[in-house]
Each structure stands twice: as structure tokens, then as C-alpha cells.
Amino acid sequence: MVKNQVVIAGGGRVGEEIARILAEREEEFTIVEINPLKVDRLKEKKYNIIQGNVEEEETLIEAGIKNARKFIITLPKAETNISIISTAKELNKTMEINARAEHSDFIEKLKKAGANLVIVPEVVAGSKLA
């Protein structure tokens, strides 16, 4: 079991980019992805990945959430992410949690649920482009 790793929920475009950056930094991480096609593609890159539903406690435990220093949730739906944060906080009260939101309206709700940092990708992109 890896200690102080990063667990990434979701292996889509955002999760894959996070994994690429962490790999460049030689940081330990595990990606949790439900889609078998994405799992296969990420395995080809030699990333540590498990196929499973991040909404299930057993999957989070398998991913090493109990010993993680950071949990990054890349899924877009705030309601789902709030539930995931709740479960993750029960398993590891000390880790940092960063989450994605689909709208700015959800930032406070996700923070109230326990996220330390909430990002709305379109807002960040707009800010950078401007």
C-alpha cells in the first residue's frame, strides 16, 4: 500500500492531464476510472489505475484513499462529487480534497461538503484566455 499518494477520481481529459503532470513530477498516484476503454488507454501509459466506481467505498479503499495525502475529483457533476467527498472524508479525515464543479453555483456546496479547493474548468479557461 502506497502512503502519501494522490488518488484521482476519473480518467477522462482532466484526470489524464493531472496524471501526466504527477508522472512528470514522479509523484505516486492511482486513477480510478469506470470506463474500460479509458482504463486500457491509461494502462498503456503505465499509469497506476484501477477500474471501478469511485462512488463505492470499496473502490476508494482499493485505490488507497485511507493513506492518500490528496484526493482529486475530476467528475463534473457536483451532486455526485458531494457524495464522493462525504464517503472519502469518512475514510481519511486528513487528506486534501480538490474537486471539479460544472458551475460556479456549486463551489460553496462542495467546500461545505469538505473540498479544500473547487475548480470550474470553464471559468479557469476563460480567465486564462482573457
CB 34 within 8 A of CB 40: no
What would the grid cell of residue 35 be? 470506463
> Which residue spans within 1-129 are E strands per DSSP?
6-9, 29-33, 49-51, 70-73, 96-100, 117-119
Structural domain harbouring 35: 6-129
User: How many folded domains does the chain comprise?
Assistant: 1
Structure confidence by residue, pLDDT tens digits, 80-108 = 999 999 999 999 999 999 999 988 899 99
pLDDT along the chain (130 residues), means of 10: 84 95 96 97 96 97 96 94 96 96 92 95 84
CATH of residue 48's domain is 3.40.50.720
Instruction: Give the pTM.
Output: 0.93
Burial bucket for residue 41 (CB in 10 Å: 0-12, 13-18, 19+): middle
Beta bridge partners of 72: 8, 98
